[in-house]
Amino acid sequence: MQPTSSRQLRARTFRTMGTVVSLTVASASDGQTAVDELESAVEVAEGIFAGFDVTFSLYREGSEASRLARGELTLPQASGSMQESYAAAAEWRIATQGAFTPERPDGTLDLSGIVKAQAMRETALSLAALGLHDWCLNAGGDVVVSGSPETGQPWLSGIVDPMDRGALLGAYPLGPGSKRGMTALATSGTAERGEHIWSVGSAGPEFVQVTVSSGDIVTADVLATAIVAGGQRMLDTAVDHWGVEVLAVRKENTLLATPGFRTAA
């Protein structure tokens, strides 16, 4: 993303949930006011992500999720936020006919497939409450935006090539300046993190990476995971039912793209 003469782009990053989160804010103001505005926004975002991580991380021994996994706590005894996230994940499991699931194959409750996106959505609401209108939030390659980096121009989100992590498959426009006005983009796959998504049926995943664009970051993130797990059938269902745009990379490194991705350039 390139700054223009009328606006300044300022960015900050922080680490959380095992990844790097960056917040970029486009501001017409200069000096300390714009810097303070960004710092306040990052403080809010970092606090929201930290709260989710403390509750849902299976890598934190004392987290609520870890206590559930060890059997020290049952779901009815869990906090309201844990029960709400589980309920949302369970609804997605029904909607995707099991392609998205809140449990690991061994039965361990694992909400990592939805909570990062929920943290992003909550952050987006909080940034709006702060009065920020033009920003881009990137959490480990999943992106949600508001407004534009420059009036009438979209934010551009790069999509990494799963076969060459140093290269991009392309850049997808998000925000009011894009053709469909999508505001969220999420990518799931096995190329970077290994086989952490469990495919539906006995065959291995058909796609090594799936990117989904939607008007909602939770929808984009869940469906990206579900399509990796459910393959072509789930891709068709997602496009027909939720109206999302999809870019999928097959094992043989061929691409399957809906019209929105084919015309994104």
Degrees, nearest 5: CA angle 149-9-144? 55
Q: Is residue 37 part of a domain?
A: yes
Q: How far apart are CA 40 and CA 155, in angstroms?
A: 22
Span 211-220, mean pLDDT?
A: 97
Q: Residue 227's domain is classified under what CATH number? A: 3.10.520.10
In a domain, residue 1? The reply is no
236 within a domain of the structure (yes/no): yes
For residue 126, pLDDT beyond 90? yes
Q: Which domain holds residue 118?
A: 9-262
- Is 0.95 surpassed by the pTM of this model? no
Split into its structural domains, the chain has a count of: 1
Q: What is the pLDDT of residues 15-65, one digit of tens each?
A: 999 999 999 999 877 777 788 999 999 999 999 999 999 999 999 999 999
113 is a domain residue: yes
Q: Cα–Cα distance between 241 and 49 in angstroms, integer?
A: 30
Asked if residue 2 belongs to a domain, the reply is no
- Alpha carbon 136 to its chain's center: 12
156 domain-assigned: yes
Does residue 143 sit within a domain?
yes
C-alpha separations of 145 from 16, 25, 28, 109, 209 in Å: 19, 10, 17, 30, 22
* Residue 3 lies inside a defined structural domain of this protein: no
